[in-house]
Structure 1
Amino acid sequence: MKFKTNIKALKVRVKDKHKPVLERMAFEVNQVWNAANEITADDSYVPVPGAGYIRNNFTAYELQKLLKSIKLERGFIIHSTSVQEVIAAHHKARKQFKTDKLRWRVSGGPRRSLGWVPFKKGAAKWKKGQVYFAGHSFCLSRRCVPVLSRRMPVDAGISTSWSKWLLSSPLPPGRWVSTWV
């Protein structure tokens, strides 16, 4: 018999003064997604004379090798682990929907994708009540700092819901936080 484990996630508001940096990071995440999408869409079927087409399935590892220099080429400020996480999420979505080309992530206009900056556990650190990530310190909402003053893991990502930027982090088992956060 398998037991299902529920993971409770803590979402904390990031102060609005960091909006320009977070929007730039979200734009760069969309560019990485679109670059991975372009590679998988264009190179999925390779024509072979006399035989037709051969299907080429890209793994996340192969895409990471192909896109490892995108950060330096385009002058991105996002962390290299963010690039890896975006490629892993792209691969997971391609596998889930059984397709080689996904929708493009749009950074501007009325139909833009919501912002998203993923990162791994070691990329973000707590320093003096702030989250330090990719060379930038992000202040959190004042009412959340006392709750987060304990050592909390930071390994999920930063996302937006229209105008508010939120830091998401899974809580360790057995630790509960009040719901007003």
Structure 2
Amino acid sequence: MYASSRGSSDAGFESAIAFPASYLRAGTEIAQSLDHRSESVCIARRIARAVLTGWHVGDERIEVIALLVSELVTNAVEHATPPIILRLHREHGGKQLWIGVSDGGIALTKGSWVVSCTSDEHGRGLQIVDTLAVARGTLSGPDGSTHWARVLLQEGTSSSSHAERFLRAGA
């Protein structure tokens, strides 16, 4: 099921995105189109936080997932072509979350952020994803790619504890 958006501005996000409370309680999946611009990273984090709060995910797990979403959406904005679609899907009775960011395929030029910084200021996004997620991969097709990560939603498991230590250490 696709969530609807009445605007793409980050300002007033809470009123610009429509996720019915009943859907968030009962739903297992959302998909949201994002503009192909750097501001979409912040918007994607806010979407993830709003959905996960509605799904009663704990605050520490929400922050881990928000970081994963940020890294995957940033890669789409900087290295791929439109469209960008964020998907969040609860799996295994709500014990795991699959995060997918679809794009239109590899861009011929680098994004403005990558071009503006030195090589030691970028390039660690997928290492962060590998550290925080229990699995990561890419699905490719004729219309683009979906880069995905899977994370446990239950706090206190070995991978979620590792992710929380990683975040507290300042990555």
The TM-score, its normalising length taken from structure 1, stands at 0.30
- Tell which structure's C-alpha radius of gyration is larger: 1
Whose RCO is larger (CA < 8 A, sep 6+)? 1
